[in-house]
Every structure is written in structure tokens, then in C-alpha cells.
């Protein structure tokens, strides 16, 4: 038995690196199959985090965000499909209109060219008027929506009229379709701006004219054919462009020839300053989106300039019509996703709350199972787990392990004299002071039973353990709790110290027994002292 003087220093000595390496486990045993083990640990950690209350909430948010992202991607693709379908449908309608106009104007132009050629033939012009007209004017001039074909002299007066013999009177030198040929600024087929015809009671009309050139190259007049705006109106009337969609035929100078829905006031309107029209002149065909200059409605304009003709055609479905089904679908998606998100988040919050409640209950159960209710320290069962783990670690790492057995002196006499409530207060005070004397995270104190406490000191040699024991003894004596039945007149403790120096393996039960034996000797020696176990574990070898 060894008694330690009061006030000795508390110092833990480390073994040198050579001793540490000598007790290190073999590499092949430590590193056996590391990759699968690491993966299992990582996977287990991920599962644990996911199933935590916070992990469940994060998972719910991720699931909701994924659902909204998927929904948004579907809606974006659906909107793109709606746009592409509208453009394709508009392009098909535009091509039908373009081909019809091109074919009819080409046929009408052939009739005008036939008149120009006939006038240049003296034999044809020498025929009687009735026969001459039959030679000059073919049946194309009698087509629906086509007006009379006129031959006008160099002064703008009608000299030959396909619709009347003798020709109707009138002078049209002021018309653009006459002046442009007279002034020599244009050669070929000219298409005029829309105008109210004098010979057709003000009906909206466009004129197609060709120059008559004399053999000497001088201006000899024009051949003019008229085409009713009703032709374009009828052509556009049958197409489906939606409630606010439009279709239009325009001249390259920005003049509106006809527009769907038809409005006589729109015929002849100049839109050459419109940004959309300006952009459309940059390419022969294309697609533009923007607000119309006429009514401000946003539309998708699919346009094309007719080859060899000063005309362009556009079909423009309104964006509101194009995207109306998509908007309905998007609204339903939003409602369904809102319901889905509400269900997911409600379920997530309820599950998180339940997990938190269960974790709290498990934590309370754990504390009840491992904590001493009176002192708040770990109980005997928890101590058994700790000492078993530390002895195995000490055997594995080759480092010292110490244990203290602390017993309150004359505690039964204190209870008998002061009562059990006072005794409980003493145990709580001893537990608090003993805990405060431990400075390292790895040190552990627990209530062993009754008035006995145990302290586990990993990586602590005999001198360090004795220093901790002395600090505990002094701290408890310093409480100054009166104890009339003690020879010291105040509450004191006796402490048994046992240290395993790692010369050979030791088990937890042996270390506990050695500490208990040391405590017995301290109590036998007069109490209020510490005693180190004098035994040394020797290897059987």
C-alpha cells in the first residue's frame, strides 16, 4: 500500500514512439478490405443523415423542387411545341395563298402581254373591232373578280375596252399605273396601289399595267387590267388563324392590299414605317414576333415575298390564341403541383416531427438507461461499457489505463444521523466535484452504486492517476460538509487507484477488482486518503 502526499502534481506521461510502434496492430489486420468498409460507413452515414428530421425536410424540399423542375421542363417543351405547330400551320396557309395569287396574276399578266403583242401587230389592228377584240382579249379577262382590260393611248384616254364597244370614255393619266410607265421609271408588270374605281362605282380595285412601246421606242400608252380587292378578300376569308389572328397581303412599298379580318378602311393603308414591316424587308421569308402597328396585338408573323412580284403575304396567329391551350395546361399543372407540393411538405413536416419526437424519446430512454437519476452521472451499465472499451483500446494501442474507485467515508452513519435527503445532497455534491476535476474529454466518471463512484482515465499512468485522485479527494474535503459521525468532522472520501501499464493484456474485470482492492486498503488505513494498487500484472510468459 502506498500513500500519496497532498498537493502532488497531476501529470500524464506519454510512452515513447518506439513503445507505441511496438504495440501497433499488424497492417494487414488493420487495413483488411478497407474500400468496402469505407463505402459501408459512408452509405450508412448518408442513410442516417437522410432519415434525420432535418434530412427528411431537405429530402422533401429536394423532391418538391425536382417535381417543379420536371413540370417546368415539360411546360417549356410544350410551349415550344405550340409555337412550332403555330408557325408550321401558318406557313402552310401562307404558301397556299402565295401560290394562288402568283398563279392568277401570272395568267392575268399573260392576257395583258397578249394585248401588248396584238397592238404591235398591224394586221390584228386592221381587223374590224369585234374580231380585233376577240384576238386581243382571251377568256382570262372574263374571270371572276377580274375587270375589263383597257388600252390607253399616250395621253391616258381609253382607246380599246374589253368590256364595251365603243370603249367607255375617261382619262386616267393621273393614275400611278399610267404615270409610272409614261415617265419611264418602270418596265414590266406594274401593280398599282388600291384605289376606288371610277368605272366600277367606287369598288376597291388594284390595276395591273404594262407599257406599250412604239417601234421607235417612244411611249405609246399602256394596257391595264383591273383586279377586284374582293378576290383577295375571298382568298383570305376561308383560312383559320384564330380569334385574334390575321392574314395580310401587302405591297413592297408598305401598302395594305387586303387584311383578315376584312375592313375596307385598312385597304390602302401605309405601314412601311412599322418596325415589323421594316424587319420583314430584310429577308425574302421568315418568322417575326411582335405587336402589330394596326391594333397592338402581339402575333407571330410568318411572311414571304412573292417571287417576281412586288407583293408579300403574311399569316399571323395571335400569341394569346397560340398559347391559350398551353396556358390552360400550365394552370392545371400549377394546381396539381401545388397540391402535390402541399401533400409532400405536409407529410415531410409530420414525418420530421415524428422522427424528432422519437429521437427525443429514444434520447430520454438512453439517458434513463445510462444515467443515474440522483447524481446525473452515467450509471453502472454505462461504466461497464466504457471500461470494457477502454481496456480493449489500451491493449490494442499499448498505452496505460487507470481507474479510480471513490467511496464516501462513513456514509451510512451520515444517512442515519442527517437523513436520506441530506445523504442524497451529499452524493450530488460529490458527483459534481468529481466531474469538475476531470480535464480531458476522454476521462469518465460514473456512479457505481450506493456511495461509490468510479473514474476511468485513458492514457494515464500511475502518477497521473494519483494526481487526479488527490485532486478529487481535496475538492470533496473542501466542500466542508459537516459530518458529526466522522472523525474528520466533515464529509471525506477514500480512493483506490489501479493502473494498467500495458506490459501484457488485461481485462476490465481485473482492473476493477484491483481498484476495489486498493479502495479497501485505503478504507482500512483510516479513510480520507488514496491508495494505489500495489500489484503488478505479470505475463504468464
**Which residues have C-beta within 8 Å of that of residue 379, sequence separation ≥ 6?**
370, 371, 372, 446, 447
DSSP label of 531:
E
Q: Encode pLDDT of 370-414 as tens digits.
A: 889 899 999 999 999 999 999 999 998 889 999 999 999 999 999
How many Cα atoms sit within 13 Å of 126 on the Cβ side?
A: 3
Tell me, rounded to whole angstroms, the distance of Cα 342 from its chain centroid: 18
Helix axes 380-397 and 508-524, enclosed angle (nearest 10): 110
Q: Are 359 and 53 in contact (CB under 8 A)?
A: yes
**Which residues have C-beta within 8 Å of that of residue 18, sequence separation ≥ 6?**
none
b/e burial code for range 67-83 (CB count within 10 A of at least 16 → b): ebeebeeebeebbeebb
Q: Rounded mean pLDDT of the chain?
A: 85
Query: What is the reported pTM?
Result: 0.61
Q: Encode pLDDT of 39-84 as tens digits.
A: 766 767 777 666 788 888 888 899 899 999 999 999 999 999 999 9
Q: Encode pLDDT of 314-330 as tens digits.
A: 999 999 999 999 999 99
Model confidence band, residue 128 (pLDDT cutoffs 50, 70, 90): confident
Which has the higher per-residue pLDDT, 513 or 294?
513
Q: What is the pLDDT of residue 136?
A: 83
Q: What is the pLDDT of residue 440?
A: 92
Q: Are 109 and 208 in contact (CB under 8 A)?
A: yes
**Both ends of the chain: CA-CA distance in Å?**
26
Question: Does the structure show a pLDDT above 80 at 540?
Answer: no
Q: Encode pLDDT of 180-224 as tens digits.
A: 999 887 788 999 999 988 877 888 999 999 999 988 888 999 999
Q: What is the pLDDT of residue 541?
A: 24
Mean pLDDT of 425-430: 95
Sheet containing strand 401-408, edge to edge, reads 444-449, 452-458, 401-408, 493-500, 530-532
Q: What is the pLDDT of residue 468?
A: 95
Mean pLDDT of 244-256: 92
Share of the chain above pLDDT 70, in %: 89
| 37-46 contact pairs (CB < 8 A, 24+) | none
Q: Encode pLDDT of 155-188 as tens digits.
A: 999 998 887 778 888 889 989 899 999 988 778 8
Question: Does the structure show a pLDDT above 80 at 234?
Answer: yes
Q: How far apart, in whole angstroms, are the C-alpha atoms of residue 367 and residue 517?
A: 30
Which has the higher per-residue pLDDT, 369 or 531?
531
Q: How far apart, in whole angstroms, are the C-alpha atoms of residue 11 and residue 9?
A: 6
CA distances 185 to 150, 179, 534, Å, are 21, 9, 130
Model confidence band, residue 142 (pLDDT cutoffs 50, 70, 90): low
Q: Are 401 and 457 in contact (CB under 8 A)?
A: yes
Amino acid at each position: 500500500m502506498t500513500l500519496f502526499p497532498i498537493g502532488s502534481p497531476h501529470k500524464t506521461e506519454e510512452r515513447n514512439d518506439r513503445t507505441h510502434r511496438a504495440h501497433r496492430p499488424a497492417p494487414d489486420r488493420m487495413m483488411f478490405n478497407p474500400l468496402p468498409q469505407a463505402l459501408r460507413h459512408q452509405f450508412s452515414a448518408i442513410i442516417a443523415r437522410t432519415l434525420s428530421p432535418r434530412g427528411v425536410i431537405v429530402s422533401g424540399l429536394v423532391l418538391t423542387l425536382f417535381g417543379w423542375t420536371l413540370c417546368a421542363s415539360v411546360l417549356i417543351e410544350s410551349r415550344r411545341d405550340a409555337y412550332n405547330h403555330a408557325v408550321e400551320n401558318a406557313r402552310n396557309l401562307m404558301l397556299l395563298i402565295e401560290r394562288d395569287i402568283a398563279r392568277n396574276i401570272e395568267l392575268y399578266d399573260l392576257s395583258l402581254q397578249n394585248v401588248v403583242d396584238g397592238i404591235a401587230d398591224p394586221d390584228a389592228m386592221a381587223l374590224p373591232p369585234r374580231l380585233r377584240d376577240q384576238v386581243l382579249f382571251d377568256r382570262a379577262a372574263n374571270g371572276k373578280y377580274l375587270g375589263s382590260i383597257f388600252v390607253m393611248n399616250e395621253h391616258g384616254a381609253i382607246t380599246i375596252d374589253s368590256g364595251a364597244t365603243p370603249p367607255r370614255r375617261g382619262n386616267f393619266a393621273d393614275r400611278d399605273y399610267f404615270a409610272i410607265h409614261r415617265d419611264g421609271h418602270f418596265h414590266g408588270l406594274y401593280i398599282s396601289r388600291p384605289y376606288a374605281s371610277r368605272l366600277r362605282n367606287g369598288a376597291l380595285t388594284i390595276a395591273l399595267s404594262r407599257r406599250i412601246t412604239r417601234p421607235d421606242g417612244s411611249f405609246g400608252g399602256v394596257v391595264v387590267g383591273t383586279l377586284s380587292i374582293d378576290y383577295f378578300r375571298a382568298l383570305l376569308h376561308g383560312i383559320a388563324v384564330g380569334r385574334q389572328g390575321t392574314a395580310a397581303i401587302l405591297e413592297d412599298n408598305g401598302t395594305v392590299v387586303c387584311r383578315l379580318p376584312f375592313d375596307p378602311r385598312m385597304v390602302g393603308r401605309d405601314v412601311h414605317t412599322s418596325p415589323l414591316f421594316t424587319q420583314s424587308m430584310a429577308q425574302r421569308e421568315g418568322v417575326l414576333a411582335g405587336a402589330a402597328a394596326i391594333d397592338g396585338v402581339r402575333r407571330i408573323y410568318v411572311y414571304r415575298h412573292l417571287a417576281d412580284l412586288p407583293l408579300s403575304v403574311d399569316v399571323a396567329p395571335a400569341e394569346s390564341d397560340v398559347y391559350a391551350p398551353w396556358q390552360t395546361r400550365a394552370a392545371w399543372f400549377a394546381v396539381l403541383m401545388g397540391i402535390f407540393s402541399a401533400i409532400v411538405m405536409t407529410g415531410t413536416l409530420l414525418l420530421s416531427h415524428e422522427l424528432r419526437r422519437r429521437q427525443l424519446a429514444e434520447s430520454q430512454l438512453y439517458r434513463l438507461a445510462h444515467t443515474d437519476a440522483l447524481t446525473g452521472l452515467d450509471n453502472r451499465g454505462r461504466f461497464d461499457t466504457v471500461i470494457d472499451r477502454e481496456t480493449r483500446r489500451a491493449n490494442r494501442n499499448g498505452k496505460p489505463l487507470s481507474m479510480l474507485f471513490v467511496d464516501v467515508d462513513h456514509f451510512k452513519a451520515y444517512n442515519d444521523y442527517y437523513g436520506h435527503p441530506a445523504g442524497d445532497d451529499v452524493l450530488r455534491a460529490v458527483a459534481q466535484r468529481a466531474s469538475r476535476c476531470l480535464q480531458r474529454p476522454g476521462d469518465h466518471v460514473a456512479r457505481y452504486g450506493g456511495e461509490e463512484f468510479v473514474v476511468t482515465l485513458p492514457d494515464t499512468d500511475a502518477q497521473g492517476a494519483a494526481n487526479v485522485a488527490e485532486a478529487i479527494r481535496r475538492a470533496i474535503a473542501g466542500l466542508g460538509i459537516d459530518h458529526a459521525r466522522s472523525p474528520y468532522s466533515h464529509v471525506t472520501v477514500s480512493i483506490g487507484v489501479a493502473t494498467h501499464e500495458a506490459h501484457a493484456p488485461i481485462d476490465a474485470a481485473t482492473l476493477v477488482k484491483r481498484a476495489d482492492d486498493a479502495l479497501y486498503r485505503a478504507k482500512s488505513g483510516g479513510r480520507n486518503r488514496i491508495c494505489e494498487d500495489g500489484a503488478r500484472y505479470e505475463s504468464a510468459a
